[in-house]
Amino acid sequence: MEHNSELELAWEFVEHTGMSIFLTGKAGTGKTTFLHTLRNKSAKSIVIVAPTGVAAINAGGVTIHSFFQLPLSPYVPGSEYRDKFSFSKDKLRIIRALDLLVIDEISMVRSDLLDAVDNALRKYRRSHLPFGGVQLLMIGDLQQLAPVVTPQDEAMLRAHYDTPYFFGSRALAQIPYVTIELTKVYRQHNQHFINLLNHVRENRLTNEDFAMLRQRLDPTFRPETESDFIRLTTHNHMADSYNFGELNRIKSPMMSYTAKVKGTFPEYSYPTPMSLEIKVGAQVMFIKNDSTGAMRYFNGKIGHVIYADRTTVKVLCPGETEPITVEPEVWENARYTVNETTNTIETEVQGTFTQLPLRLAWAITIHKSQGLTFEHVIIDAGASFAPGQVYVALSRCKTLEGIVLATDITNACLGCDPNVEAYIERQEEEARQSAEKLDEIKQAYYRHTLVRLFSFRDLVTMQETLSRLFNSTFRYSYPEEAETQQKINLELREKVVEIADRWIQLISASTDRQLHDEIFTERVKKGAEYFANALSAIFGQSLTAAFKVQTDNKKASQRVRELVNDIRQTLDTNIGLLKSIASHGFTIPGYLKFKQTAALDATRENSLKRVARGGRYGKTDPSGKKSSKQTTAAPKPQKKLSHEVSYELFQRGLDREEIALERSLVVSTITNHLMHYVDNGTITLEDLFTPAVVNAVTSAISKLPPDTGSIEIKDLLPSSISLSDIVTIRSVLRKQQS
């Protein structure tokens, strides 16, 4: 693509600042091309989402709902319906390492959906910042397709939002973002046609514009059989009816081609029918670019079937002499995952859809035509029901001469949401100022990122919370651990926070030139090395000790586990990042790469498992390389029985909950394993349960008749004592009595 200063500006904002961006522009201005370039070349950790399945497949991403596991119901601000869902470990790792969230077709994203995304990112990144501190790139054109809002949804959301469009999002209103408008049109070249499209887009058609459109009106027009005219309709049933009507006119035999679906590929994302029915003479459209690289066809190219048997289809396109032998293409349904070898976020194929890349193409809906380019179109937009439909339809064609209007276009079928008009007017000034702000914002981003390197606020806050919990709950049962936590607090303040504050003051007081000076960058490397060593020394094995506390208060125990897990991940991320900067120096691309690697390393293994085994800080090879020494393979040990494995872990000091976590089993299963050793006298009941729990259950049993059920016994006991524990203790007591 030729030099384009607007696209270069967009790249600079995305890649070299943390500012969120709304990238907009007329149809055919290169928004999709920019997205593909970004995905292939950006140094940032990126996830691409879109509001619909087809849009997500086309963008090379996933749907918003599937990535964030959101229900299809409206999101009411403040609600927490996401708690009904559980994110996989990989999904959490990806979200916490995320730098940039790209939302394609933003014009179709409702304001409440964007707020649901904000809610998810804040929660799972453990951040109070809007969108969890993630940079947004929102791509789309508000003058094209609008969000879908049913009357029921509208009634529910009316009290919370002034507009359903994305810019009504409460979270978006809390962040600064720049608007960059692409104005160079690549699809059309005739300036009169471009001006007409602009007027339609902005809903300000002149009398001259209406006259130009009326010249294209021909309700009785029927294209020649071998032409490539495609009819654009407003509704699915209109397109389907027209296609099947034309197909039934053809007397040749019907041929059917069934797609092959492997793995997970939801039906709503099928790019073409599962069973594709065509005849010789049918007008078809290619729905994918030629994957062979021969560029025989592209998404939107129209032709006619000249040969079809059970295995082969040949299509001849207007103006060409050689037919295209069509072979099945493969579409992939992917999800984001972590490559453990390269420590990068990648897309993993969940399923494939293999089918001939064709669909009947006498007609298609305007909605499905978005993003496509045609030579000749018949536009049937008289039943237009949403703002932007007429503009999308007209802008699909390369030339005005290639358009035939089946119905008249009037002001009534144009329509424009006044909220959109007001928003666009406000953003036009923002777009004009964006270029002027760039250098200032880039320097601010560099300074902000450098400050983030030496900011340990999250780690300190979590550690102080853990210390307070020990002081209030475990002060008497675990006095040494409680004292250790207080000592860590003091050392963090003296050896980390106070020195980090001086670093941050120095960064704030330095000029932009000084921050890039060789002497300063060398000081940054030494500072990073100091903090990495200090954090390793301060924490030592304290988290292992904190993890192993035992208490009847299950809520407090769970809170300790959560805090230890969060601290461990944050600590490992900080130390890994600091060591990399100490070795390689500070640059923005380097910082982003090292941060992603450190964050994914910190969550590579289940944190609780690692802490339970006594993982240390600062004692491992930061390169992560395995020893090159050759060792003689030892004889393969005989496999232990499951209850023997549980008993060995119990002997190493892990309690039942920790063993269950280590082995990915439920606590009741571990209890059953250990009961084998209670029965043979190797361990006692008091080894499994605290004396307080045993005494409480024994006392409750003594107060009730011998044939009382365990559920009735539980009614007399605290909720922290499970029914499974009661059954186990009761069984042992009965055996002892007999």
Q: What is the spatial distance between Cα 232 and Cα 223, in angstroms, rounded to a whole number?
A: 14
Question: How far is the CA of 634 from the CAs of 458, 631, 637, 638, 639, in angstroms?
Answer: 45, 9, 8, 12, 14
Summarised one tens digit per residue, pLDDT across range 211-242 is: 898 899 999 998 887 788 999 988 888 888 99
pLDDT of residue 549: 66
- Can you tell me the mean pLDDT for 592-600? 84
Strands 177-182 and 20-25, by their bridges, are: parallel
Bridge partners (DSSP) listed for residue 313:
308, 326
108-129 b/e (C-beta count within 10 Å ≥ 16 → b) = bbbbbbbbbbbbbbbebbeeee
Summarised one tens digit per residue, pLDDT across range 414-452 is: 666 677 777 877 777 776 776 778 888 899 999 999 999
What's the pLDDT band for 2 if we cut at 50, 70, 90?
low
Q: What is the spatial distance between Cα 285 and Cα 307, in angstroms, rounded to a whole number?
A: 15
pLDDT of residue 342: 64
Q: 């860590």: which residue's tokens?
A: 488
Q: Which two tokens stand for residue 526?
A: 């030494």
Confidence (pTM): 0.65
How much is the mean pLDDT over the chain?
Answer: 82
Is the backbone of residue 148 left (phi > 0), alpha (psi -120 to 50) or beta?
beta
Q: What is the spatial distance between Cα 149 and Cα 165, in angstroms, rounded to a whole number?
A: 10
DSSP, residue by residue, 602-636? HTSS-HHHHHHTT--SS-S-TT-PPP----PPPPP
Q: Which two tokens stand for residue 291?
A: 């994957």
Q: Is pLDDT above 70 for 611?
A: no
pLDDT of residue 629: 40
Bridge partners (DSSP) listed for residue 394:
none
CB 196 within 8 A of CB 210: no
Least confident of 140-144, 317-321, 544-548: 544-548
Neighbours of 153 (CB within 10 A): 17
pLDDT of residue 357: 93
Q: Is 737 helix (H, G, I), strand (E, B) or coil?
A: helix
Q: What percent of the chain has pLDDT over 70?
A: 85
What's the pLDDT band for 664 if we cut at 50, 70, 90?
low
- Can you tell me the mean pLDDT for 33-49? 88
Q: Which two tokens stand for residue 695?
A: 């005494």
Per the model's pLDDT, the better-predicted residue between 40 and 22 turns out to be: 22
pLDDT of residue 620: 38
pLDDT of residue 578: 94
Q: What is the spatial distance between Cα 615 and Cα 544, in angstroms, rounded to a whole number?
A: 7
Q: What is the spatial distance between Cα 287 and Cα 368, in angstroms, rounded to a whole number?
A: 11
Per the model's pLDDT, the better-predicted residue between 496 and 190 turns out to be: 496
User: Please, which residues have CB within 8 angstroms of residue 711's CB and are 6 or more apart in sequence?
Assistant: 723
Q: Is pLDDT above 70 for 645?
A: yes
pLDDT of residue 308: 94
pLDDT of residue 138: 95
In 195-287, beta strands by DSSP E: 230-233, 255-258, 260-263, 275-278, 283-286
Q: Residue 284 half-sphere exposure, CB side, CA atoms within 13 Å?
A: 29
pLDDT of residue 615: 52
Least confident of 167-181, 519-533, 689-703: 689-703
Q: What is the spatial distance between Cα 632 and Cα 406, in angstroms, rounded to a whole number?
A: 80
Q: Torsions phi, psi of 23, nearest 5?
A: -95, 110
- Can you tell me the mean pLDDT for 130-154? 86
pLDDT of residue 625: 41
What's the pLDDT band for 725 if we cut at 50, 70, 90?
confident
Is the backbone of residue 131 left (phi > 0), alpha (psi -120 to 50) or beta?
left
Chain Cα centroid distance, residue 581 = 27
What's the pLDDT band for 624 if we cut at 50, 70, 90?
very low
Per the model's pLDDT, the better-predicted residue between 655 and 77 turns out to be: 77
In 159-294, beta strands by DSSP E: 177-182, 230-233, 255-258, 260-263, 275-278, 283-286
Least confident of 31-35, 141-145, 652-656: 652-656
What's the pLDDT band for 606 if we cut at 50, 70, 90?
very low
pLDDT of residue 661: 61
If we measure between CA atoms, which residue out of 270, 266, 304 comes closest to residue 285?
304
pLDDT of residue 580: 93
pLDDT of residue 66: 82
pLDDT of residue 99: 92
Q: Is pLDDT above 80 for 594?
A: yes
Q: Is pLDDT above 90 for 655?
A: no
What's the pLDDT band for 632 if we cut at 50, 70, 90?
very low
If we measure between CA atoms, which residue out of 365, 409, 404, 382 comes closest to residue 220?
404
Q: Is pLDDT above 90 for 324?
A: yes
What's the pLDDT band for 665 if we cut at 50, 70, 90?
low
Q: 222-227 long-range contacts, Cβ below 8 Å, gap at least 24? A: 223/376, 223/378, 225/281, 225/304, 226/304, 226/318, 227/318, 227/376
Q: What is the spatial distance between Cα 179 and Cα 428, in angstroms, rounded to a whole number?
A: 8
Per the model's pLDDT, the better-predicted residue between 656 and 393 turns out to be: 393
Bridge partners (DSSP) listed for residue 260:
354
Alpha helices (H) in 356-478, listed in sequence order = 366-369, 389-395, 418-453, 457-473
Q: Work out the burial of residue 184: count CB atoms within 10 Å of its CB; fewer than 13 is exposed, 13-18 middle, 19 or more buried.
A: middle
pLDDT of residue 663: 67
Bridge partners (DSSP) listed for residue 278:
255
Summarised one tens digit per residue, pLDDT across range 196-206 is: 888 887 778 88
CB 372 within 8 A of CB 301: no
Least confident of 265-279, 384-398, 488-502, 635-649: 635-649
Highest average pLDDT, of 313-317, 421-425, 463-467, 569-573, comes from: 313-317
Q: What is the spatial distance between Cα 733 and Cα 685, in angstroms, rounded to a whole number?
A: 9
Angle between helices 518-539 and 498-509 (to 10 degrees): 160
Q: Which two tokens stand for residue 93?
A: 């790792």
Q: Is pLDDT above 70 for 522?
A: yes
Highest average pLDDT, of 59-63, 138-142, 370-374, 427-431, comes from: 138-142
If we measure between CA atoms, which residue out of 518, 625, 520, 609 comes closest to residue 568?
609
pLDDT of residue 412: 67
Neighbours of 438 (CB within 10 A): 17
Least confident of 147-161, 163-177, 386-400, 601-615: 601-615
Residue type, 21: I
pLDDT of residue 325: 95
